[in-house]
Structure 1
């Protein structure tokens, strides 16, 4: 998690598109969502979040191959505290377990 989130940013997630699509409904919570191909539009209060993802080549570490999904986030009409609240839930929901 971060201390703040910009109106637009991208990040790489270590998951397949199928895994991501399984997580997406929980990650957006109660916010209405419309999905179109490799994009989703989420209504958050009076604003919107536009998500777009792209499958990237796997990341190789020695003999291990890890999936990479590049995510683009674009918030519109959502202030910094609202972005933080949404992304805190999003990040906790999509976070993988650790040691």
Structure 2
């Protein structure tokens, strides 16, 4: 998790698209979620929205282990910084898997 979230950024997520789509409704915590086309989603946040777009990346390989990856683009439109921070803090906690 990071302390500041820009209006637009990209990151890798260690999961398959099926896993991402299964986790996404819980991660948006009651905000309206739509999937307008394959590889995209929109989340309503107050009067604005978060636009998400993703595509598969080559798996990360460590020795004999292959881990799936998605490239995910986040773009907040008309969402103020405070709302962006609140939303992403929960989103990141929800999406955190394993580890300590």
Normalised to the residue count of structure 1, the TM-score between the two structures is 0.96
Distance 1:48 1:22 in 2: 20
What does 1:1-99 align with in structure 2 at a 5 Å threshold? 1-35=1-35, 36-99=37-100
Runs (5+) with no aligned partner, structure 2: none
Q: Aligned-pair distance for 1:95?
A: 0.5
Runs (5+) with no aligned partner, structure 1: none
Q: How many pairs were matched up?
A: 99
Normalised to the residue count of structure 2, the TM-score between the two structures is 0.95
Q: Secondary structure at the match of 1:75?
A: strand
